[in-house]
Amino acid sequence: MTFDEVPGWFMPIDQAAFSWILTHQNLTEPEGALVELGVFKGKSAILIGNFRRPGEVFTACDLFEDIATSEVADPGERRFFLSQSLTQLAFERCYLAFHADLPRIVRGASETVTRFVAPRTARFVHIDAGHTYDLVRRDLASARAMLRDTGVVAIADYRKPDTLGTAAAVWDAILNEGLKPILNTEFKLYATWGDPAPLQEVVRQGATEAGWCRVGDPVMIRGMPMLYLHRKPG
Ligand SMILES: C[S@@+](CC[C@H](N)C(=O)[O-])C[C@H]1O[C@@H](n2cnc3c(N)ncnc32)[C@H](O)[C@@H]1O
């Protein structure tokens, strides 16, 4: 199985952004926890796992087939993911095609993750589980509790027409709860409760070196600069 053959929703622009941020953390920061809420068949988890250092724990949380009976799942998402034959075994098979060991799997609702990851120990949290306002609000609260000061949260689908609850939860956190934007792509928004400036420099440098993508002029939101990372046209 090649990485391109793993089913999922994880575009090259975000594969690049994850890689630059995680590489920067690996080079400059002590060990920390890695967390993904909503793994599906492992596409983004496999890439995060590439950056796990010895001694670090990567926690991968999903309802998997229990989405069929889970009361917390959004009914529309339940129908969709059941149609995708998602099982824990399918995730494990994909993950093990790229890694010798599985991550720590939390099979359950994303809101349970803080029982497993200690406060202020995480360096990177990817939120890509339930996409409703209430679920993303809760996942952002969990991310805030788990992340250390320099930690980064990436939130999927923050601007899709059919996931406005995610958009509302993200902007709520930015405008009212101290979350600071780092960058956005077409698909994900990256942010921190710490200082976004060093990470913005990492992204600028990554884009310059990569050549196929670029960072636009910063967009200012209440004095906070946000960078748009996108493919170069043509
Ligand atoms: C969009 S997919 C994740 C995609 C994956 N990150 C990738 O890159 O391919 C969303 C996943 O979240 C799971 N999910 C939905 N609601 C959840 C909840 N409340 N708690 C935990 N997992 C949930 C679904 O089972 C599904 O696997």
What is the residue with the minimal CA distance to atom 1 of ligand 1? 128
Integer Rg of the chain from CA: 17
| Closest C-alpha among 180, 190, 134 to residue 158 | 190
Please work out whether the CB of residue 18 comes within 6 Å of at least one atom of ligand 1.
Answer: no
Contact 21, 51 (CB under 8 A): no
Please work out whether the CB of residue 67 comes within 6 Å of at least one atom of ligand 1.
Answer: yes
Consecutive sets of 10 residues in the chain, 234 residues long: mean pLDDT of each?
A: 96 98 98 98 98 98 96 93 93 98 98 98 98 98 98 98 97 98 98 98 98 95 96 90
- Superfamily per CATH, domain 31-193: Vaccinia Virus protein VP39 (3.40.50.150)
Contact 151, 193 (CB under 8 A): yes
Please work out whether the CB of residue 154 comes within 6 Å of at least one atom of ligand 1.
Answer: no
d(CA 161, CA 110): 23
Please work out whether the CB of residue 129 comes within 6 Å of at least one atom of ligand 1.
Answer: yes
* Structure letter (DSSP) for residue 10: -
Tokens standing for residue 200: 């913005």
- What pLDDT shows up at residue 234? 78
Q: Cα of 62 to ligand 1 centre, how many Å?
A: 6
d(CA 181, CA 165): 18
